Chains A and B, each alone.
Chain A
Amino acid sequence: MAKSVHDLVLADDDADDCIFFREALEEIPVAVTLTTVKDGVELMELLTNRKEALPDLVFLDLNMPRKTGLECLTEIKANDALKKLPVIIYSTSMDREMVNLLYKKGAHYYIRKPGEFSKLKESIYTALALNIQQDPAQPAKEQFVIKV
């Protein structure tokens, strides 16, 4: 890892998924700090309050109450102060049209929540290993979905 500590934010209303995510992080050899928020509104509040010290990465669930992941992504990419923030979609679904739309909206990667814990660890590890810096270029379309 090029950078010692990753500062991550996970926006997901599902408590189980938050636990899985945190447990997976604990089992992979990287130093990270994780902040979780329960919906899109909370995420946008957090980002607005932390404009000066934005997280390194945002993992964004799509299906959330109050404000969906897609709405958040749209807002982030429309906001000059936030649009440099790399966003990784973290969702159960794998709808082709939705995937295309998210890529178009400027998300960097797409992780489909796997059914096996080992694969979850692998996915998160792969994503962190990509070593995404602030304001990176979007990867090629073929690399958008992280496959493990």
Chain B
Amino acid sequence: MSLETNEMRFLAGGGEMGALTRNKDWSQTPVGPVAQWPQLLRTTLSILLNTRFPMFLWWGQELICFYNDAYRPSLGDRGKHPAILGKRAHEAWPEIWDTIHPLIDQVLEGGEAIWREDQLIPIYRNGGMEDVYWTFSYSPVRDESDAVAGVLVTCHETTDKINTLKRIEESEERFRQVADSAPALIWMSGTDRLCNFFNKAWLRFTGRAMEQESGSGWLEGVHPDDLEKCVGIYSSFFDKREAFYMEYRLRRHDGTYRWLADSGAPRLTPSGDFVGYIGACMDIHEQKLFSEELEKQVRDRTWELEQKNAELLAMNKELQSFAYISSHDLQEPLRKIQTFSTRILDQEYPNLTEDGKDKFQRMQKAAKRMQTLIEDLLAYSRTNTEERKFKTINLGSIVEQVREDLQEELLEKQATVEVLNLGEVSVIPFQFRQLIYNLLSNALKFSKSTLAPHITITSEKGQGSTLGPEKLAPEREYCCIRISDNGIGFEQEYSEKIFEVFQRLHAQERYLGTGIGLAIVKKIVENHNGMIQAKGEPGQGATFTIYIPASPSKA
């Protein structure tokens, strides 16, 4: 045993395989007992068992198998280990014998060493056949007579690497398939900004090959007018690693340019490394043209409207100045008629017949009425042309001024004006004075012959929403002024009509008036951005309610 142990010294170490090799009864194998092993085998095994690199040896004519600890994991569990140690090659590797036999023969026949990289050689391990990839070299072990005594296999299992590569390839293939089946035009670029992938939809669209489009080739198809913008957006967002959206025209296979919407986003690996960009484009040509057409139409319409508006404004202005000038110029001849008629009456009165005198007086009355009409028309058109300066003044003082103006009429009709809670108002003073004047004289004009006129004027302030009328801005503060009388009133159905120019509800003989007074009132209220309502009942008097903003709008 000491001798044997001594003879085993070359097999010292070598881990599990060293122990297995030492303990095996080699006398029953073709290589015979260890004591008879040639020096070459001993040397080779000594190297094999002690290297950390996976190695395998087929020795002698029978190609007896030896292998080391480093090789051991590749055999897996429930497989060839440790049975194949000392077995003949064709017995150890029946499943791949057809593959490896020719390679072994090649070496045995004195040929060169064999080198294979990532070659698939499926073997039986872990209870079944497994696809195993190897990078390996078969090299001859020559004896002193230069004969090949064995084949030394230096190998490395690359199954994990190959599987990883395959998975990457598969996922890339899956991506390509998805990308190619997508209707969108998809592109990808690397960290160098250059494009390295275009899907089928893109290539079909441009009618160009991947090689033509790759790198910066695709830019050749971008419309010259959009090129600078396109490159600018891409570069600036690429630097910031941010997603972008841009629209540009790309040349289609038929040579026409189509508008595309391109959404790009940075590509990151699961660990967060930036690897480039990916983008998808949609053909938005029709939408773009449609919206451009729409915009153009809107522009055109807006322009037309502006023109029409300007025309209307000009016409309106012309009309107003026409109304003003014509009524102004009408005064001139009318005044002459009046003056001449008074001259004739003064100088020729005794010469006129009674009938002539009567007709003359009627003529003067008609002229007087025309004068009133012209004056009212002038006042009406003046409410448009005059400058509008708002001032905060006391409503009571305006009423007081008007009361003085109407002193004679008030006395004549024995009328009373009752004033309650009149506060400050923000108004165009002389216009508002005219408004109060018109409403008061209206109340006097349409009073009952049997009852002394009594006019009540009140005012209050409040928000639009609490005051009532829907036309008011709910949040805004308004001043509400009410003027009520005990006169003849009117049918409620005329509550709108009475504000129209020349609308009169009564015959001229009974109630004098030009039908302009209330139209002026309405216009003045509108100039104050307010509204007016009239309520009445025949024989029960009338109430006019005015709402004007408590403070003038800034607009």
Contact = CB atoms under 8 A, between A and B. Distances in A.
B470 to A, nearest CB: 36
Interface stretch (A30-38, A47-55, A91-99): A91-99
Interface in A59-106: 92-93, 95-97
A113 B334 CA distance: 11
A114 B338 CA distance: 9
A115 interface: yes
Contacts of A95: 328, 382
A113 B339 CA distance: 10
B430 A114 contact: no
B336 A116 contact: no
B93 to A, nearest CB: 120
A16 B339 CA distance: 10
Contact of A117 (B339, B371, B382): B339
Contacts of B167: none
A51 B349 CA distance: 46
B214 interface: no
A93 B336 contact: no
B332 A115 contact: no
B335 A113 contact: yes
Contact of A115 (B339, B382, B386, B430): B339
A129 B328 CA distance: 30
A131 interface: no
Which of A23, A93, A97, A115 has the most chain B CB atoms closer than 10 A to its own CB? A115
Interface string B351-375: 0000000000000000110010000
Contacts of B334: 115
A43 interface: no
A115 B338 contact: yes
Given A16-B336, A115-B367, A93 B331 contact: yes
Contacts of A20: 339
B346 A92 contact: no
A133 interface: no
Contact of A118 (B336, B342, B382, B387): B342
Contact of A114 (B332, B335, B367): B335
B317 interface: no
A117 B331 contact: no
Contact of A120 (B332, B339, B368, B382): B339
A118 B331 contact: no
Given A16-B336, A96-B430, A97-B386, A115 B328 contact: no
A92 B335 contact: yes
Which of A92, A96, A97 has the most chain B CB atoms closer than 10 A to its own CB? A92
Nearest to A97: B386
Interface string B89-128: 0000000000000000000000000000000000000000
B331 A92 contact: yes
Interface residues of B, number: 18
A96 B335 CA distance: 19
A115 B346 contact: no
Interface string A108-148: 00000111111010000000000000000000000000000
A92 B367 contact: no
Contacts of B296: none
A96 B371 CA distance: 17
B343 interface: yes
A20 B328 CA distance: 20
Contacts of B343: 23, 117
A30 B248 CA distance: 93
A116 B386 contact: no
Contacts of A16: 336, 339
Contact of B328 (A14, A93, A117): A93
A96 B368 CA distance: 21
A27 B234 CA distance: 98
Nearest to A96: B430
Contacts of A93: 328, 331
A32 to B, nearest CB: 20
A14 B340 CA distance: 14
Contacts of B335: 92, 113-115
Contacts of B382: 95-96
A120 B335 CA distance: 11
Contacts of A118: 342, 346
Contacts of B371: 115
Contacts of A113: 335
Contacts of B342: 115-118
A29 to B, nearest CB: 17
Contacts of A114: 335, 339
A140 to B, nearest CB: 18
A14 B387 CA distance: 31
A115 B335 CA distance: 5
A114 B335 CA distance: 7
Given A93-B328, A93-B331, A97-B386, A116 B430 contact: no
A113 B336 CA distance: 10
Interface of A: 14, 16, 20, 23, 92-93, 95-97, 113-118, 120
Interface of B: 328, 331-332, 334-336, 338-339, 342-343, 346, 367-368, 371, 382, 386-387, 430
Given A97-B386, A113-B335, A114-B335, 17 more contacts: A14-B332, A16-B339, A92-B328, A92-B331, A92-B332, A93-B328, A93-B331, A95-B382, A96-B386, A96-B430, A115-B334, A115-B335, A115-B342, A115-B367, A115-B368, A116-B342, A117-B339
29 contacts: A14-B332, A16-B336, A20-B339, A23-B343, A92-B328, A92-B331, A92-B335, A93-B331, A95-B382, A96-B382, A96-B386, A96-B430, A97-B386, A97-B387, A113-B335, A114-B335, A114-B339, A115-B334, A115-B367, A115-B368, A115-B371, A116-B338, A116-B339, A116-B342, A117-B339, A117-B342, A117-B346, A118-B342, A118-B346
What 10 pairs between A and B have smallest CB-CB spacing? A115-B338, A117-B342, A116-B342, A115-B335, A117-B343, A92-B331, A92-B332, A117-B339, A16-B336, A93-B328
